[in-house]
Chain A
Amino acid sequence: MPTVSVKWQKQVFNGVEIDTEQPPYVFKCQLYDLTGVPPERQKIMVKGGLLKDDGDWESLGIKEGQRLMLMGTAEEIPKAPEKGPVFVEDLPEDEQGTAALGHTAGLVNLGNTCYMNSTLQCLHSVPELRLALKEYSAAVGTGIDPSSHSLTAATRDLFGELDRSLRPVAPVRFLTVLRSKYPQFAQQTNQGLYMQQDAEECWTQLVYVLSQRLQSVPWDEQPTNTVVKHLFGIEFKSIIKCEESGEESSESETVYTLKCHISSEVNHLHEGLKHGLKSELEKTSPILGRSTLHIKESWINKLPPYLTVQFVRFFWKRESNQKAKILRKVNYPLVLDVLDFCTEELKEKLKGPRKVYREIEDAKVGIKKKEKEGAEGVKALQNLGTSTSDENVEMVDAEQAPSSSEKVNAPEPEVTGIYDLVAVLTHKGRSADSGHYVAWVKQDSGKWIEFDDEQPILQREEDITKLSGGGDWHMAYICLYKARVAPPY
């Protein structure tokens, strides 16, 4: 019975006896006791050979004190995951491009068309809009306004192309249609070159046309409510007060952009927005019978999933006969809370979703409340939820705002009044009709891409907030915020 030493991983077991009468399997069982490696997983190496379970000790010529090497672990054998990963290389050719890059293609500049390219890139970043456009069928277009139809169809085709293409897309058809619909974009200089245009104008017109054409919303039966209105429409409730007579009238209106007015005391988007909600206007007072100064104060009464904020950077400068630019630095946040600008009713309405949202966030961070408290909280929340929604119904009825009423009971997630920045359209230069427009769009992966016409450039999030103006660098002109939503309760 020779004794050998067995080396296993970094351990050495000295003085292991081998019973040469028994088959090697018995020896393996001996080692199982020492190492915990099941015999069938053991590989014993003797001078370049493997010890077989039924091998012959004689032929191996084991010597006293020889060193054997044991290889094996009790570890689980790795198994392929049931669902293997999907590889880009397996995808159909036309999807490979965007999947591999993680962002869509750029748009070719067709001669001072960066205003249009950047607008399109920003709007393209709204998935709901893309979806709605995809479903836009040609049949709808046989209505009264063929040019609007063709512009919508052109937008649809262009967006489709952007989704598929790896190379920069040339929006030739879209541009032609746009110019035929809105001839102001076809202005030419003396040399016959097309002129730079205001991106905001392009944005407004495009959104307007789309709001006209995209009628049906898949999740909404009400035909009057258009996709665009649902996505971007901000409903204002304003009270117009005459300073002199004290008379008050209220009105509600839906706009597609929040304006951030820039004056000398505005340093932050928040201040600018606040500024914009209060305005003075001349209006005929029915009581006084003449036009007097009225003060208009507005509050948001309904928040859309996408909030468009425009920095009113351009004003008409009479002396130079062109739109001049305010270069003032106005900071804007990556996360915007618009609660301050809401009507009391809306604030009340937002309470529920905000609470739910906050709880979800807390849970994510890992702050776990005691179970009991939690249960109570949820109950309270439910109570709160039902009560607010009840109130809402009444309130809405009272204020005869049909457009918002059906929202209350809709099963979709609730907006919370908190918004994330998802796209920025910037301008660089001294006047709206010159300089350069660029779109900065956040991707699904959380990374930012600067779409400088046909060139997509990776950017860091920190750099996005640096586009706030105050120099000759790109400065934000239009910001697109996406609502953080809480699940319906």
Chain B
Amino acid sequence: MAPENSKDSHAMDQDVQPPPSKLLPKEAKKKKEEKKDEDLSEEDLALKQQLELYVERVQDGDPAIQKMALEAMRQEIRTATSSMTSVPKPLKFLRPHYGTLKSYYEKMVDSELKRYLADVISVLALTMSEDGDRESLRFRLQGSIGDIGSWGHEYVRNLAGEIGNEFQQRQTDEQPVDDLMDLVKQIVPFHVKHNAEPEAVDLLMEVENLELLTQHIDKGNYKRTCSYLTSFASYVPEPDDTLVLDIAYQLYCKFEKYPDALRVALRMDNTQYVKSTFAACKDLLEKQQLCYILARQGVLLELDEELADNDEQRELLQELISNSKLSEGYLTLARDLDVMEPKTPDDIYKAHLVDGRASAGASVDSARQNLAATFVNAFVNAGFVQDKLMTAPSMESSTGSSSGSWLFKNKEHGKASAAASLGLIVLWDVDGGLALVDKYLYSNDNHVVAGALLAVGIMNCGVHNECDPAYALLFESVNKEDPTIRIGAIMGLGLAYAGSQKEEVLDLLTPIVQDSKVGIEVAGFAAMALGLVYVGSCNEDVAQSIVLALMNRSEAELGEPLARFLCLGLSLLYLGKQDAVDATMEVAKTFHEKISKYCQVTLDSCAYAGTGNVLKVQALLSLCADHLEKGDSHQAPAVLGIALVAMAEELGLDMAIRSLEHLLQYGEQNIRRAVPLALGILSVSNPKISVMDTLSRLSHDTDSEVAMAATVSLGLIGAGTNNARIAGMLRNLSSYYYKDPSLLFCVRIAQGLVHMGKGLMTLNPYHSDRFLLSNVALAGLMSFLHGSLDMKSIILGKYHYVLYFLVLAMQPRMLITLDENLKPLSVPVRVGQAVDVVGQAGRPKTITGFQTHTTPVLLATGDRAELATEKYIPLSSVLEGFVILKLNPDYQQDHLSS
């Protein structure tokens, strides 16, 4: 019997049920049946009479006759074929006799015949039994232990459903479930054999025995099973989700799909599994692919003898893991797309397209506008190693180096950001970049030195170098006199070693966090840096020192805008670690009331970030419903928290966007200010029209802080997409706000973000088909967002370099295919909107509305690529980032197409 979907079976049920009429049910029924009788064809009539005869015979005293009748009845039922939408005829005609058979069954003495009858009744119960009676299951258990599959697919499915319910019932009543498990063991192979792996998985989940699955899965169906397992893991509450992923991991390992196994291991954040995957993988080429996946997730795996065959191989693999090829690949992409030419901020502002009121070009330099231009220039030319402001060779030979001249067009702390922008321009290119930054380290201007130190950190972000230049250059400056230099060095360390858990950084920075003599801003940045380096590690030492700092600081200091970074640094330690945060939560309750609530909310939202935990979302929403007395500031992080928790999967994400809409309408001002930022992170680098429109509306809000947040968020949702619609909106905003320097600054920043990396980048922390979440990227986004909560004193104040935290989330949104020597290889690929094919039978299309390009190509959020040629086989099932291709041995040149 072919598999039917539930819709059909539902239709079937309806078909069978008599029309509900409460007054005279029996009469109505009778009438109907009479009518039906009249309609019956002769053949059907014969069958009906036959069956009625069988029913009578079954009640006969003679066992032989009984047996014959039963056999005949079974035969009729099993051989009955009918269309998918209606009940098989024999079942239909036996319906009126269900009661008769049942009552006769009760009277029967226990015998083989009785079990036979039980089988038949069990099948009849499929259409007859009342909801919740589970009669089908009851008679099944009393029946013979025959092959249940012979009764048809629908019967098995119904049975599976009843088992689930029965199992729960028995669990609560603490009754044994062995007989149920025997049935399950019959049903699972049946499902797996008939392309219904999801149903098998569901049943096993219901009876809490997923391990049974592994023995039934084979080479032909592990893919579908695993994709079902991995995708529904997001909806399973903790800790069952780990179990689900574990099964998927084991299946992938069993069938030697190491790249997929590695992804699952990374999703589980299980270092042991990562290592064993690596060790299990014997093919060098495939190992290299594993290295690329590790590099993308930012996991720095130190390879030892076990993981690599020889020193030469180890060096090669280690280099791949350290991500040092990223810059090269990115530039290959840029050259292929012909976007190497540096862009100036004016190319981005496109003032000539702005109609209406706009500045006629200031006659005097504006420090704020120059600073904005610095950031725009940095974001737009990020990673290209050349630009027109900072690295351009001197245009006028007489005035000396022009790179110096732009630097000094910034004022005071602006110079720090300007010097640091160099780091963003040479992003990932440590060897070439250090030479450019070097001269600024010798400057006698403290701001310039601070910026240069930060630049060193920025360019090392996400890449690792065996000589470890970032630490060598930065560690001395961390304890200098000048707070600006200290912040530059500390933040640089945080960016360069984010997620690496480097112990030297811990030793260096904890004294600063605890030292109550240093300014709260230095301590705040130190806590942030530690939070980034130890992100999601639950490190006790770091937690301890930040907690101490939060306890020892005075009330006035905790009221400073940068005190929030202490809380955030602490919270980042528990990013995504769920209940591991509980102990620290308790401690946070004892903090000074000024910071306590802020800290608690931040801890909570970080710990459950990316889990989709509905209860947390509800708790945070209820926090936002409170009416606050003046002075409390924890509602804004709560709003961000909703976004963070809900961003895990698409459904929760859409719900969160709707909830935020309510907050906008009914929330108070401090909540409304955070809503645009929350929308920004929910849809980061993913310019959805609905979100875009909401933000566009908010960017004209009467409350300037709402408008600022909305403007920056427009930049976030369009980050690295070159989205023309957002670019147009921002141009209009630039003319709308031409007189308001603060808002204009935000507009400029947003413009820089939209054109980030000339449209080759993304800020989305999710990658690999939205399966993996990069903790470091999320931490970077969070730092930026918390900085943006107090726009006026942080981003518009002295600490605009907080914007550089975004570098942690910046990644090229590319697909580069490599040949077996890791050289770029151009092959045709189809790129289109990803389609969810989880749980679908056959080989459904995975993308829609695709176009064929040759690699390297850009992938937008929600895009998926597949090879358009059979000539090569990709080593990774997810075509993102660097993918190694190997020649397909079965490929035969098609003479016609060539």
Contacts and interface: CB of A to CB of B under 8 A. Distances in A.
A88 B468 contact: no
A78 B440 contact: yes
Interface string B739-776: 10100000000000000000000000000000000000
A235 B156 CA distance: 110
B368 A89 contact: yes
6 contacts: A75-B401, A80-B445, A85-B409, A100-B362, A445-B361, A447-B361
Interface in A439-478: 443-445, 447, 449, 455-458, 460
A317 interface: no
B431 A10 contact: yes
Given A7-B467, A43-B472, A102-B362, 11 more contacts: A50-B476, A71-B435, A75-B401, A78-B401, A78-B448, A80-B408, A88-B362, A101-B738, A166-B739, A457-B355, A458-B351
A144 interface: no
Contact of A78 (B354, B411, B431, B443): B443
Given A78-B440, A86-B365, A87-B365, A45 B469 contact: yes
Contacts of A43: 438, 472-473
A449 B440 CA distance: 41
B363 interface: yes
Given A43-B473, A49-B472, A445 B438 contact: no
B439 A78 contact: yes
A364 interface: no
A320 interface: no
Contacts of A47: 466-468
A67 B438 contact: no
A278 B320 CA distance: 86
A239 interface: no
Interface in B424-452: 431-432, 434-435, 438-440, 442-443, 445, 448
B435 A73 contact: yes
A91 B439 CA distance: 32
A73 B360 contact: no
A401 B355 CA distance: 50
B471 A87 contact: no
B84 to A, nearest CB: 67
A11 to B, nearest CB: 9
A45 B362 contact: no
A109 B445 CA distance: 51
Interface of A: 7, 9-10, 41, 43, 45-50, 67-69, 71-73, 75-81, 84-91, 98-103, 166, 443-445, 447, 449, 455-458, 460
A458 B442 contact: no
Contacts of B618: none
B467 A102 contact: no
A439 to B, nearest CB: 14
Contact of B405 (A81, A89, A100, A456): A81
A104 to B, nearest CB: 10
A98 B363 CA distance: 9
Nearest to A88: B366
Contacts of B364: 86-88, 91, 99-100
A103 B443 contact: no
A79 B504 CA distance: 34
The 10 A-B residue pairs with the shortest CB-CB distance in the complex, in nearest-first order: A78-B404, A48-B468, A69-B467, A102-B360, A87-B367, A447-B360, A48-B471, A45-B472, A99-B364, A88-B366
A84 B445 CA distance: 13
Contacts of B842: none
B359 interface: yes
B214 interface: no
A197 B357 CA distance: 27
B365 A88 contact: yes
Given A72-B438, A73-B439, A78 B432 contact: no
* Max chain A C-beta neighbours (<10 A), residue from B363, B404, B440, B504: B363
Nearest to B465: A69
Contacts of A101: 359-360, 362, 738-739
B26 interface: no
B403 interface: yes
A47 B475 CA distance: 13
Contacts of A102: 359-363
B797 to A, nearest CB: 13
B548 interface: no
Nearest to A12: B431
B212 to A, nearest CB: 50
B36 interface: no
Nearest to B466: A67
B467 A77 contact: no
Contacts of A87: 364-367, 370, 411
A77 B471 CA distance: 23
Contacts of A69: 465, 467, 469
B220 interface: no
Contacts of B473: 43, 45, 50, 71
B662 interface: no
Nearest to A446: B361
A41 B356 contact: no
B407 interface: yes
A166 B431 CA distance: 49
Nearest to B367: A87
Contacts of B362: 88, 99-102
Contacts of A71: 434-435, 438, 469, 473
Contact of A443 (B352, B360, B368, B443): B360
A50 B441 CA distance: 15
A121 B468 CA distance: 63
A77 B439 contact: yes
A72 to B, nearest CB: 6
A77 B357 contact: no
Contacts of A98: 363
Contacts of B443: 77-78
B363 A458 contact: no
A447 B738 CA distance: 16
Contacts of A9: 431-432, 434-435
Nearest to B414: A87
B358 interface: yes
A78 B741 contact: no
A90 B360 CA distance: 20
Contacts of A100: 359, 362, 364, 366, 741
